[in-house]
Amino acid sequence: IDSVRDIFECLRLGEKQISTALHRLNRVKEIQKILVEQIRVLETMTAQEFLNFRDYLFPASGFQSTQFRLLETKLGLKLEKRVNQDFINKLKDEDKKKVEKALSEPSLFDYVERWLRNMPFIEFRGYRFASHYKEAVEKMHNLDSCALNRMLEGEERDAAMKDLASTMEIYESVWDKDVHKKQKEIGARRLGFRATNACLMMMLYEDQPMLQLPARLLQVLVDVDDCLNQWRHRHTQMVHRMIGQKIGTGGSLGHRYLKETVDRHRIFSDISNMSTLLLPKRFLPELPTTLRDQMKYFHSIEPYDRTLFELGGGGDNVELDWTFC
């Protein structure tokens, strides 16, 4: 995680840096899968067998796991978002300093938000992603509204129309800064306005050559977040099997506390929630030709030079050898 943060610390990120970050995050994901699978070994123990030695664990607690707190913090879990914000006082002095240092530094979430915020393509030579997206959403919304009015009646139709209006407000946060600000204030959104637009554009147009790696990077960030939450969930289930509703050895609420962390300690939920904003291909606006050309690996090629790419030569009149070695 530290090495990925170091990559994103650079203000200019090319495909090589993104590819390296993607590779390392995929390794993190595989390590997380092993950690989740290890819980299966602990689950072979019965609750009675665990109680035979549980008293020896007092007053030890998961709160004292410095590495896990550092992992969460460096990924981007803010102190104010934690279920228990007093955990830091349960650490040793040297460990407390490590966590405090991590809290004072930009997290991976912060770096990713900055990277997304500065993506150039959402506004390009007169093109405005948010405006084109708005037109497509309104067209889709009108069709959905007509379909509901045609297919449903009475209370069922009213309830469906209410849900449709609620979803429309989420869409509006893409082109209306005030709506986006409101979503941030209630905790429904964490990414900034431009970063949200860039993230959505990457996911909608992920088949564009220049956006393929960034879109894959966004997906692996969600995967890492999901794996971390899978571990929390499996840990919560195991604790419930072993101690039921008893308090934890460190004085926490045990199962109830752990269950709450599963719901509240997500980090990259903004990216995973982008699926709400995605549009079917038939509604997706075409990108301007000038913008599509900028997203290609080769921007413009003179007609007489095309043999360089089509035939593998250098444009000279040479005989090509297509045989296999």
Q: What is the pLDDT of residues 94-127, one digit of tens each?
A: 999 999 999 999 999 999 999 999 888 899 889 9
The more confidently predicted of residues 304 and 63 is 63
pLDDT tier for residue 320 given thresholds of 50, 70 and 90: very low
Q: Is the pLDDT of residue 248 over 80?
A: no
Write the burial class of residue 206 (CB in 10 Å: 0-12 exposed, 13-18 middle, 19+ buried). middle
Q: Is the pLDDT of residue 314 over 70?
A: no
Q: Is the pLDDT of residue 323 over 60?
A: no
Find out whether 170 and 276 touch, Cβ atoms under 8 Å: yes
pLDDT tier for residue 55 given thresholds of 50, 70 and 90: confident
Q: Is the pLDDT of residue 305 over 50?
A: no
60: Cβ contacts below 8 Å, ≥ 6 apart: 249, 250
Q: For tokens 């990559």, name the residue.
A: 7
Element at 127 (helix H, strand E): strand 127-128
First to last CA, the chain: 43
How does the average pLDDT of the chain come out, rounded?
86
The SS3 assignment for 313 reads coil
Task: Say what the pLDDT of residue 205 is.
Answer: 96
Torsion over CA: 101, 106, 108, 109 (sign): positive
The more confidently predicted of residues 47 and 317 is 47
Task: Say what the pLDDT of residue 6 is.
Answer: 95
Q: Is the pLDDT of residue 172 over 60?
A: yes
Please report which residue ranges of 76-153 form alpha helices under DSSP H.
93-104, 108-117, 129-151
pLDDT tier for residue 318 given thresholds of 50, 70 and 90: very low
Highest mean pLDDT among 36-50, 53-67, 294-308: 36-50
The more confidently predicted of residues 140 and 250 is 140
Q: Is the pLDDT of residue 247 over 80?
A: no
User: Within a 10 A sphere around the Cβ of 205, how many other Cβ atoms?
Assistant: 20
Mean pLDDT of 172-201: 95
User: Within a 10 A sphere around the Cβ of 149, how many other Cβ atoms?
Assistant: 12
Query: In this predicted model, what pLDDT tens digit does every residue of 141-152 receive, in sequence order?
Result: 999 999 988 898
Question: What are the two backbone dihedrals, phi and then psi, of residue 193, each rounded to the nearest 5 degrees?
Answer: -65, -50
pLDDT tier for residue 301 given thresholds of 50, 70 and 90: very low
Q: Is the pLDDT of residue 177 over 90?
A: yes
Distance of alpha carbon 113 from alpha carbon 323, whole angstroms: 49
5: Cβ contacts below 8 Å, ≥ 6 apart: 74, 106, 107, 108, 111
Task: Say what the pLDDT of residue 240 is.
Answer: 86
pTM listed for this prediction:
0.85
Distance of alpha carbon 296 from alpha carbon 316, whole angstroms: 25
Task: Say what the pLDDT of residue 138 is.
Answer: 95
Distance of alpha carbon 191 from alpha carbon 274, whole angstroms: 11
pLDDT tier for residue 316 given thresholds of 50, 70 and 90: very low
